[in-house]
Structure formats: C-alpha cells, structure tokens
A and B are shown apart, each in its own frame.
Chain A
Amino acid sequence: MVRGQRRRRGIVDWLNATFQHWSLLPAVLLFVLLTLYPIANLLRMSVSTIDFMHGSEVWSFTPGRNWASLLSEPALGPTVINTLIFVVVGVVVEVILGLGLALLVGSMTRGKGLMRTLMIIPILIPPVAIGSMFKLMFNHDFGLFNQLLAVAGIGPVSWLGSTSLALWSVITVDIWHWVPFVFLILFAAVEGLPGDVLEAGRVDGATRWQLLWRVALPLLMPAITVAVLFRAILAFKAFDEVFLLIGGGPGTSSELLSLHLYKVFFEQNQLGYGAMLSVLTIVGVLIALLLGRRLAAGARPA
C-alpha cells in the first residue's frame, strides 16, 4: 500500500519535472528564432559582401574586405569620438539632473504625484514630434532660443548649422528627453530611502550635505547604477534625435554611430561592412557594460 503510493508519487514527480522542462520549449524556440538566428545572420553578414544582381542577393565570403573598408574610412574616428562624447556627457548630465530633481521632489511635502506625472510627459512624446519641435526651436531665424537671446541682446546663434555647436544641441535635446526617465528611477529609490537611518544620521551630527554624500548617495548607488547602465545602452544606440534634427551635419560633425550605420546600410548599400560595424558596436557596448558593472561592484561594499 505504502509502496504503491510511493511509486505513484515517483511517477507524478517525473511527469511534473518532464512537463516543466518541455513547457519551456515554446519560449526557447521563440528565443532561437527571434534572437539567436538574427544575431548569427548578422555575424555571417559581417564577414561577407552582399551584392544585388538580377533581383536577388549574392553572398560572397570576404572577411578581409570589410576590415579594409574599416581601416580606410576617415569618418569613423570622429563618429566614435562624437558617440563617446554624446554618451558620457549626456548620461552624466542626465544622472546629475535626474538625481537633483528626485531629491528635490522627494523633499516636497505635497504635490509629489503631480510632479511625477508632469515628468513623464517628455517620455510620452513620439521622438519624431520631439525632433520637429526642437528643430523649430533651434531655427536660426525664428526659433524660440534665438528669440530669447535676442531679448538679451545676444545672437543669433546657429545652433544646428555650426560644426562646433551641432553635437551639443543634439546632446541638449537628448538630456531634455531622458532626464525624466532617470528621475523616475531615482525618485522611486529616494522614496524608498529608510527614514530612520537618515534621522540617525542627523542625530549623529551630519549636516544636510554630509547626509547626502555619506548616507543617501551610498544607499542610492544601486539605483544610480541601473539608471546609468540603461541610459548608456540607449545613448550608444541613439539615432532619432540626431537624424531628425540635422542628419549628422554639418558635414559629419554630429554624426553618431547609429546614424553612420544607417548611412552605410541604406545610402551606400554596403550591407556586409555595415553588419561588421554593428557587431563592433555590440562588442563595444558589451565591454562598456562589463566595465560599468565592475566599477559599480567595486564602489559597493562586498
């Protein structure tokens, strides 16, 4: 009797375990189909030359040729540097502003909900609308920024037309667009700060500034890390803002990696070379991520 029950339980367990394993299958299939296959294909493209002849594609295995294109391309260096400036400056400013706003709103006694709602608006606006909105505001002749400067007796400034300013104008839009996102992440963390620990700090003799640096910031570090990683990944891939505002110009003065990829793929039709650049971008982002994680782990106590 007991043995029979035990055997039956054994079978049920086995069925359960098997069922659990096999129920993962649809997800695994989807993952392979939608993620692994495209990546594999991209890798294959990156070592090939693809030509279109007689309405069909012709693949040829030419790894050296794509590397040669890479080394012979003069515009790539500035593009990489532009991207790094865009990522580092954008993310740093966004995190500082987002954190400042989060602390400010967190210290308000009323109206927190309203502030949070207002802050979400820039995230809700479609990038295309943001592009045209800022293109108008940056306009040399009738844009809002130059009109304001004119009131102060300065200007007009060629926001998008000057090679030295264009990239910074794009960064400004990116900051406007993404500070709310950083704010939302950090505001949740600020609201979750343990009140009694902060009070203990006040009684222990900390000024507001010391409380921020020595208690609040270390406790916010995990959230700040998340915000930085998210933003860095998205900034590396930024495309819409620079494409819509100026298309990377004047010249290539504000060209970012994504925009460059776009041009290689869709304007120059160099699919193999474009694929290789994509792979390199992915590798670059991964390295940056790992470094970021290492740094964040080092900053935190074990």
Chain B
Amino acid sequence: MIPVDTPSVTAEVTRALQAVLGDFGADAPITPESTFRDDLGMESIDVVALAGRLQARYGAGVNLAQFVASLDVDSVRELRVGQLVDHIVLSMSAAGDRL
C-alpha cells in the first residue's frame, strides 16, 4: 500500500522532480510553493516526464497525465508543487473511498 498522506506524497513528488531535473535542477530547494517554470525552470518535456513517473508510481487512478495535459502552457508555468501534491492526495483518497 502506497502512503497517500500529504507529507509522503510531497516527498515522493520531490524525489521524482529531482530525478527528472537531474544535474540541472534549480539551486533553490523544492517546496510546496515552488512553481514549475519560474522557480524550478522546468521545460514542458520535463513536466511530461514527471507526469509519466508519478503515473507509474500511483497508477491510473490519479489521472495525472490528464490533469497535466489539460493545463495550457501558462497554467503549467504557474503550477505549484503543492497543487500537484494536493491533486494526487485527493485522487488517491477518492479512489480509496470507492473500494
């Protein structure tokens, strides 16, 4: 069972971000307030790779690809790490309720 409380998901998303950004990650620490583009410097292909990683971790229930793909370029730029975490926590607990 994968833990889906906010601290665990935040840790998981941070790990995935570090893996995607590799050596070129931003110097600033990754926090729930960090924005994808302006703070973390992510390119759109990085966001795609991140979504793929988290989808593999949490399964189709989080609809992560759909969540990300439904954003336009400007919304992706403004997206914060915490919003992504909230989306995962909400989708996973909704999925749990249905079981």
Are A and B physically bound partners?
no
Binding site for A on B (CB under 8 A): none
